[in-house]
Chains A and B, each alone.
Chain A
Amino acid sequence: MPERLSGIGVSAGVAAGPLLRIAAAPALPPPVPVTDAPSEVSRAFDALAAVVADLERRADRASEATVAEVLRAEALMAGDEELRDAVRSRIEEGVDAPHAIDGAFGTFREMFAEAGGYLAERVADLDDLRDRAVAVLLGLPMPGVPRPGHPYVLAARDLAPADTADLDPAQVLALVTEVGGPTSHTAILARALGLPAVVACRGVSAVAEHTLVEVDGSTGRVEVGVTGVRFAAREADPLDALGPGRTADGHAVKLLANVGSAKDLPRAEGIGLFRTELLFLDRAAEPSRKEQAAAYRDVFRGMPGQRVVIRTLDAGADKPLPFLDQDGEPNPALGVRGLRVARRRPEVLTTQLAAIAEAAAGSEADVWVMAPMVSTPAEAASFAAAVREAGLPTAGVMIEVPAAALRAADLLEVVDFLSIGTNDLSQYTFAADRMCGELADLLDFWQPALLQLIGICGAAGRAAGKPVGVCGEAAADPALAPVLAGLGVSSLSMSARALPGVRASLARYSYAECRRLAELAVAAPDAVAAREVVGKVVG
């Protein structure tokens, strides 16, 4: 009888295979006296060289150029001459190899942390390199994603971006993590790769390696110790990524993609969320209108004749920008963020709108503009006026706070469309921080209260004859797609990799069935029941 664990399903699909986990970082052994410094130095250098060689091998295998570049940059760090000099001098002072490596990385770690910003985030890379070198010295497996040479289910406490840089979707069948929520890195990555995933799965860390498990990314169930499973079975995507989204009876739901720059232009019906933060990140000064226009133009030109919904700067809270001087807010998530920045710095918005207009004028894309973090019809009206003044025809707002959802009809009197950001809308509806894994159940997109708010927006959109989209991570959940369509959502925007699954799921139901599923989900007492009741009908 297999044991059953349960967590939150964050990326649909069923897969089974042997469970392997990311090796934990090795603990430093107690210090030992060094008797033969030269041989200790060569032991340390050999370990660093092994890390460099491993990173370079992984870079050679990486299918994406950017991933390969990141790995090669890490290899350069691990092979750094200054680092080696620091290791050598520590060993010559009597420190053993593991501690010398730890200490040498520690010096750079301090410099990085002090520099702040981008560099402070790279501290985790240094720690990872140190762990790898120490693991080699101790004869332990290198931390990171295993490569057993056969397909497996990857388990971890949580996945760090570095762990997943070269994760191979042909080998990894599914992801299961002990912590994390629907908006965690694991969830986003799993949906992007089209892998079934379960997060917040308590007990998975205790499962022995190589145990056969079956993971259901829709229900959140993980069966441990299954036998005679469809080994390595993974739901194939029945439809190609191309072609418009529609229900079985032809009701159209536009399937759009989320992008951050011209580097990731998708094959989709358009772009439902073009995030502009990328250009502003890590900048001491605001990018000029000319620079902004050039970046926007690259994206618009890549999507001739198609809809591109561009979002004005979404800064503040988890995305602080140095030039906005946002220090000292007691609670940034409830502070001056998104459109609210324009209260203090209206010129940032007007410059951005002028740049968007300039870029739109030279392209054939159908450019729509929307503002993040809008709460009232007055804010929506003033944003729409600014958009029109810039010479842009289509203005909309994001629905991210409950106040805006409740007043969706009023908002649609002054704007042309709504786009629901489900990550923030759950955060504010449940007063639960997006990053707080412990509250992951509250941030579940199947929470009936969240679905009800989406339904209010959908109904307002139908009544006004104006589009209402979902561009949060919830849009990438295939099981949820018919529910969202039934709630009146007219477009779903997600990472491009999630499009086939959502398209296939939508095509299985008539529009009337979608409406029925939506009713059932909203009427359910909680998220688990909502998912189950829909799953029964869907199954």
Chain B
Amino acid sequence: MSTRTVAVGSASGLHARPAKLFVEAAAAAPVKVTIQVAGRKPVPAKSMLSVLALGAKQGTEVTLQADGEGAEQALDDLAALLARDLDADDA
């Protein structure tokens, strides 16, 4: 099982637009990825409702997990996406 821990970079946290972009990217990944806030249950990264319900704010550390072929690359990509300020990017 590979993991990445990263602090959420988006100004508004993992809400609305940043959550949508992350969930879409996770759904497109070749492996099943989970996301977790310390002390809580991991949830599927491609579930918009579960990701929103994490309530992750800017600076909240989240841990991604995945297994299988392509997991390393997928986790790197998703971690990099989380670390960016997705609110600041142009629509």
- A residues engaging B (CB < 8 A)? 65-66, 69-70, 72-73, 76-77, 80-83, 108, 111-112, 115-119, 122, 282-285
Identify the closest chain A residue to B54 (Cβ): A115
9 closest residue pairs by CB, A with B: A115-B55, A76-B48, A111-B53, A82-B47, A73-B20, A80-B49, A65-B91, A108-B49, A77-B48
What is the CB-to-nearest-CB distance from B37 to chain A, in angstroms, rounded to a whole number?
Answer: 11
**Which of A77, A116, A283 interacts with B49 by CB under 8 Å?**
A77
**Residues 13-28 of chain B, each 1 if its beta carbon lies under 8 Å from chain A, else 0:** 1011101100110000
Assess A76 versus B23: contact at CB under 8 Å? Given A70-B16, A82-B50, A122-B52: yes
User: What CA separation (Å) do A17 and B57 show in the bound complex?
Assistant: 46
Identify the closest chain A residue to B44 (Cβ): A82
Query: Which of the four size classes fits the interface of chain B?
Result: 20 to 34
- 13 residue pairs of the A-B complex, CB under 8 angstroms, read A73-B19, A77-B52, A80-B50, A81-B44, A81-B46, A81-B47, A83-B47, A83-B49, A108-B53, A115-B53, A117-B55, A118-B12, A118-B15
B24 surroundings in chain A (CB, below 8 A): 76
Identify the closest chain B residue to A120 (Cβ): B55
- Structural contact, A80 and B91, CB atoms closer than 8 A: no
What is the CB-to-nearest-CB distance from A286 to chain B, in angstroms, rounded to a whole number?
Answer: 12
User: What CA separation (Å) do A285 and B11 show in the bound complex?
Assistant: 11
User: What CA separation (Å) do A118 and B14 show in the bound complex?
Assistant: 11
A119 surroundings in chain B (CB, below 8 A): 15, 52-53, 55
Question: Within 8 Å of chain A (Cβ to Cβ): is B63?
Answer: no
User: What CA separation (Å) do A73 and B59 show in the bound complex?
Assistant: 22
B3 surroundings in chain A (CB, below 8 A): none
A116 surroundings in chain B (CB, below 8 A): 55
Assess A73 versus B17: contact at CB under 8 Å? Given A82-B43, A118-B12, A282-B12: yes
Known: A66-B91, A69-B17, A283-B57. 4 other contacts (CB 8 A): A70-B16, A76-B20, A115-B55, A282-B12
A72 surroundings in chain B (CB, below 8 A): 20
Q: How many A-B residue pairs have CB under 8 A?
A: 60
A83 surroundings in chain B (CB, below 8 A): 47, 49
B44 surroundings in chain A (CB, below 8 A): 81-82
What is the CB-to-nearest-CB distance from A185 to chain B, in angstroms, rounded to a whole number?
Answer: 19
**Residues 73-91 of chain B, each 1 if its beta carbon lies under 8 Å from chain A, else 0:** 0000000000000000001
What is the CB-to-nearest-CB distance from B28 to chain A, in angstroms, rounded to a whole number?
Answer: 13
- Structural contact, B53 and A282, CB atoms closer than 8 A: no
Question: Within 8 Å of chain A (Cβ to Cβ): is B58?
Answer: yes
**Residues 30-52 of chain B, each 1 if its beta carbon lies under 8 Å from chain A, else 0:** 00000000000001101111101
What is the CB-to-nearest-CB distance from A51 to chain B, in angstroms, rounded to a whole number?
Answer: 13
Identify the closest chain B residue to A68 (Cβ): B91
Assess A112 versus B53: contact at CB under 8 Å? Given A73-B20, A118-B15, A283-B58: yes
Identify the closest chain B residue to A86 (Cβ): B49
User: What CA separation (Å) do A83 and B19 show in the bound complex?
Assistant: 16
Assess A118 versus B13: contact at CB under 8 Å? Given A69-B20, A111-B53, A283-B58: yes
B17 surroundings in chain A (CB, below 8 A): 69, 73
**Which of A65, A70, A284 interacts with B57 by CB under 8 Å?**
A284
Assess A112 versus B43: contact at CB under 8 Å? Given A69-B20, A76-B20: no
User: What CA separation (Å) do A25 and B79 show in the bound complex?
Assistant: 40
A69 surroundings in chain B (CB, below 8 A): 16-17, 20, 91
What is the CB-to-nearest-CB distance from B42 to chain A, in angstroms, rounded to a whole number?
Answer: 12
What is the CB-to-nearest-CB distance from B22 to chain A, in angstroms, rounded to a whole number?
Answer: 11
A111 surroundings in chain B (CB, below 8 A): 53
User: What CA separation (Å) do A34 and B39 show in the bound complex?
Assistant: 38
Identify the closest chain B residue to A66 (Cβ): B91
A284 surroundings in chain B (CB, below 8 A): 57, 59
B91 surroundings in chain A (CB, below 8 A): 65-66, 69
A117 surroundings in chain B (CB, below 8 A): 55
User: What CA separation (Å) do A108 and B46 show in the bound complex?
Assistant: 15
Assess A112 versus B47: contact at CB under 8 Å? Given A69-B20, A76-B20, A119-B15: no
B12 surroundings in chain A (CB, below 8 A): 118, 282
User: What CA separation (Å) do A83 and B52 show in the bound complex?
Assistant: 13
A77 surroundings in chain B (CB, below 8 A): 48-49, 52
Identify the closest chain A residue to B19 (Cβ): A73
User: What CA separation (Å) do A83 and B59 show in the bound complex?
Assistant: 27
Identify the closest chain B residue to A279 (Cβ): B11
Identify the closest chain A residue to B23 (Cβ): A76
What is the CB-to-nearest-CB distance from A86 to chain B, in angstroms, rounded to a whole number?
Answer: 9
**Residues 56-78 of chain B, each 1 if its beta carbon lies under 8 Å from chain A, else 0:** 01110000000000000000000
